[in-house]
Amino acid sequence: MNNQFDPRMQPGFNMSPAAQSFQTMPPDGRTNPSSYIQNWQNNMNNMNVGNGYSNNTMQTPPQGMQPQNSQPTGFVGRYVSSPNEIMASEVPMDGRVSIFPTSDLQEVYLKGWNSNGVMITVKYIVDPTWQAPTPETPDVIRRLENLEKTVAANNKKTPAKNSQKEGNE
């Protein structure tokens, strides 16, 4: 006799319609594993999979189809007043990093998952002494003008040499 805990046998147990086909499998679950997987696959297709940060419904690709290797793009994040209000569910598990600047823009928190399920947090603090580098456009333009003058001067000299060579021949 199997004395293991089975929530389906508990009083007041209500199964969602999407999960009801779990009940159709035999108690030992081993007589036909493939049918069990098929039931589960149907459940997953009918179910709104809870990933915590979106309501995306998992779609089962057709049999034999290889997973796409496309990387999700775009940033995830929002302004926060305190890092304590950032929920783990706000960080996607698709390899992206979430960005959480504080509302006064004095701190920025980057959060991401490592492959072992640990949330990694990186904190950036604004350095008040740091100043954005000024554009070096005027200097570049001055150097371009000097270069242009040099090239123009060389061009004036070059035709004279050529004509002298032609005259000698």
Partner 1 sequence: MPSMQEMAMFLQRYPQIANSPQGQEFLSILRSGDVARGEQMAQNFCSSYGVTPQEALAKAQQFFMNGKNF
Contact set with partner 1 (CB under 8 A): 7, 13-19, 22, 29-30, 33, 36-37, 40-41, 47-52, 55-56, 58, 60-61, 65, 67-71, 88-89, 93-95, 113-119
To the nearest whole angstrom, how small is the minimum distance from the Cβ of residue 135 to partner 1? 39
Helix H or strand E encompassing 43: helix 33-46
To the nearest whole angstrom, how small is the minimum distance from the Cβ of residue 109 to partner 1? 14
Q: Which residues pair with 107 in a beta bridge?
A: 125
For residues 72 and 84, give the distance between their C-alpha atoms in angstroms, rounded to a whole number. 26
- Secondary structure of 130-166 in the HEC alphabet? CCCCCCCHHHHHHHHHHHHHHHHHHHHHHHHHHHHHH
Q: Which is nearer to partner 1, 77 or 86 (CB)?
A: 86
Q: Which is nearer to partner 1, 72 or 159 (CB)?
A: 72
To the nearest whole angstrom, how small is the minimum distance from the Cβ of residue 100 to partner 1? 15
Question: Do residues 57 and 49 touch, judged by C-beta distance below 8 A?
Answer: yes
Q: Which is nearer to partner 1, 9 or 125 (CB)?
A: 9
Dihedral sign computed on CA atoms, order 32, 33, 39, 42: negative
To the nearest whole angstrom, how small is the minimum distance from the Cβ of residue 23 to partner 1? 11
Q: Which is nearer to partner 1, 119 or 144 (CB)?
A: 119
Dihedral sign computed on CA atoms, order 119, 122, 96, 46: positive
Query: Strand, coil or helix: what is 55?
Result: coil
Torsion angles phi and psi, residue 110, rounded to 5: -105, 130
To the nearest whole angstrom, how small is the minimum distance from the Cβ of residue 7 to partner 1? 5
Q: Which is nearer to partner 1, 27 or 149 (CB)?
A: 27
